[in-house]
Amino acid sequence: FAAMALFSTVGFMLLTSCTDPGILPRARLQLMVDGLEEQVAAVVGVNLPEIEIDPHGHPMRPELPEDLRARGYKWCDTCQVVRPPRATHCRFCDNCVLTFDHHCPFLGNCVGKRNYAYFNAFLMSTLCLIVSVFAGAAIWFSGTEGQSVLKRTWVVVMLGIVGFAIAVLVIGVIVLFIFHLVLSCMGRTTKEALTGRRSATTTPGSPAARSSHSICSLPPPSLVRARDRVTKPCIT
């Protein structure tokens, strides 16, 4: 069981770290790759205003309709794209991320629409790994009753030092897992919970339905098309 928990923890950690969290391509890239602008509109769910270019070759800020502004659509000055509700520009990754939850410095990646389920699975597998390690340590320690007092005392001291550090880690992981489980049931993100803002596009339904949608739903197609050829002139 410990080996399975270890492999699943490493696997979900790599999936969370290496998966595109839901990066919204910048306007320049959308104009240079055929079909990318239409794919972005399909993922966002609305027909966004067409990107126009000024005489200097820079994307122009469009005039957003009132209904889109009321629903939370905003213009990102850095990426020069219309940002949908619940999307945020990450200052660490320097990209707009769909359904942005938070930037995880330990994994070196944002947690967003496409890898949030992997992140929750990583927390769950980490808890299982911790439980299996504690259970194995308890079983091993119970087998040292026949040893000398000095040797047994040394083992207790070492276990106490290591156990304290692990206990702090365990408490942190448990609190983090419960926090994200509650957020999944509420249909909210970490940023929305910390800032107190509520989105008009929060997942509807019961807590079980919202949790299932956040954790069990398949990620949408990635908008990062790194293997596509640039078919139009580069916009500087």
User: Which pair of tokens denotes residue 16?
Assistant: 């969370």
Query: 221, 44 in Cβ contact below 8 A?
Result: no
Nearest CA to 230 among 31, 18, 10, 1? Answer: 31
Contacts of 32 (CB under 8 A, 6+ apart): 230, 231, 232, 233, 234, 235
Element (H, E) at 111: strand 109-111
User: Which pair of tokens denotes residue 41?
Assistant: 């509109």
Three-state SS string over 1-68 comes to CHHHHHHHHHHHHHHHHHCCCCEECCHHHHHHCCCHHHHHHHHHCCCCCCCCECCCCCECCCCCCHHH
Q: For this structure, is 185 an active site residue? A: no
111: phi then psi, degrees, rounded to nearest 5: -110, 115
SS3 210: helix
Catalytic site residue from 76, 93, 96, 104: 104
Sole residue written with tokens 């119970």: 142
Q: Could you list the active site residues?
A: 104
